[in-house]
Copies of this chain bind each other. A is one copy, B any other.
Amino acid sequence: MIEGLKNRRTVRKYLDKGISDDLLNELLEVACRASNTGNMQLYSIVITRDTEQKKRLAPAHFNQSMVTTAPVVITFCADVNRFVRWCAQRNAEPGFDNFQTFMAAVIDSMLVAQTFCNAAEDNGLGICYLGTTTYNADKIIEILNLPSLVVPITTITLGYPDGLPAQVERLPLEAIVHNEKYKDYTADDINLYYEAKESLAENKKFIVENNKETLAQVFTDVRYTKKNNEYFSEVFLKVLKDQGFM
């Protein structure tokens, strides 16, 4: 398994080959063995296989092609609704309409999502995470019919890989890991840790393509602008309020 995880890559192109119900169900079963908060299982999993439903979801993911080309799209949701309904039916007064419970449900959702992905890749499937889920959560809630106390957190596209994409770089481990206490980064540390990333031909190409001076500017001016980040922060905070978590 270590070797598989070491060699993994995100897969955005899939063969025109479905995923059997048996395999999908086995992966879902296994995913639900992941740790979760107090065994409350504060998550739900919405499977999208229907072509029309994929087309409805696509704009919420900024029309990234994988949403319509993958055989299966899966939305992992923070779900406190089911647990609260159980409490209400058992003469128990739930106090879960708050931010702390939302965080627990986010953590639960991500544990099940990533266990699903690790198991899926181990079975020859390829996955791609869509970070757009928290941007357009309001639209996804409508499309998937999510009730109060349910919020979509992440989405994956899933299928058998069509080709082997290149593996992307990572920062060196010493840039990520701190021993005993967080050691803040000096200017020299930053230069050292980002050197390899900045020297890659494909990253230099991004600078030219976007007419920027540095790779960092590609992130701040093009990919993740302050304006967008702030706009989608407002949208998501409104979603949390509307769904009953704030």
Chain A residues engaging chain B, CB cutoff 8 angstroms: 1-2, 4-6, 8, 10, 25-26, 28-30, 32-35, 37-41, 43-50, 53, 77, 81-83, 85-87, 89-96, 98-101, 103-104, 106-107, 110-111, 113-115, 117-119, 122-123, 127-129, 131, 134-135, 144-147, 150, 153-154, 168-171, 173, 175-182, 184-185, 187, 190-191, 193-194, 213-217, 219-221, 223-227, 229-230, 232-233, 236-237
Contact B185 A91 (CB under 8 A): no
Q: Give the chain B neighbours of A1 by CB distance below 8 A.
A: 1, 4, 118-119, 122
Report whether B134 and A91 are in contact in the complex, using a CB–CB cutoff of 8 Å.
no
Residue of B28, B168, B232 touching A177 (CB-CB under 8 A): B28
Find out whether the CB atom of A131 lies under 8 angstroms from the CB atom of B38. Answer: yes
- Also in contact, A98 and B230, with CB within 8 A (given A178-B44, A182-B46): yes
Tell whether, in the assembled complex, residue A100 and residue B229 are in contact, meaning their CB atoms are under 8 Å apart: yes
Say whether A181 contacts B41, CB under 8 Å.
no
A107 near B41 (CB under 8 angstroms)?
no
Instruction: Give the distance to chain B from A82, nearest Cβ to Cβ, in Å.
Output: 6
> Which one of B44, B129, B173, B182 contacts A147 once the chains associate, using CB atoms below 8 Å?
B182
> Could you tell me the distance in whole angstroms from the C-beta of A75 to the nearest C-beta in chain B?
9
A85 B185 Cβ-Cβ under 8 A: yes
- Identify the closest chain B residue to A46 (Cβ): B178
Report how far A219 CA is from B93 CA in the complex, Å. Answer: 9
Q: Which residues of B are found within 8 Å of A2, using beta-carbon distances?
A: 26, 30, 119, 122-123
CA distance A241 to B187 in the complex (A): 26
Partner of A184 from B81, B128, B180 at Cβ < 8 Å: B81
Q: Among B118, B144, B170, which residue has its beta carbon within 8 angstroms of that of A32?
A: B170
Note all chain B residues with C-beta closer than 8 A to A25.
173
Q: Which residues of B contact A170 (CB under 8 A)?
A: 32-33, 39, 41
Q: Residue of B at shortest CB range from A232? A: B100
Which one of A123, A154, A225 has the greatest number of beta carbons of chain B within 10 Å? A154
Contact in complex: B107, A223 (CB < 8 Å)? no
Question: CA A30 – CA B177 in complex, angstroms?
Answer: 13
Instruction: Give the residues in chain B near A94, CB-CB below 8 Å.
Output: 220, 226
Contact (Cβ within 8 A) A107 B107: no
- A-B residue pairs in contact (CB < 8 Å), sample of 8: A28-B177, A34-B114, A95-B227, A96-B229, A99-B233, A99-B237, A101-B233, A110-B110
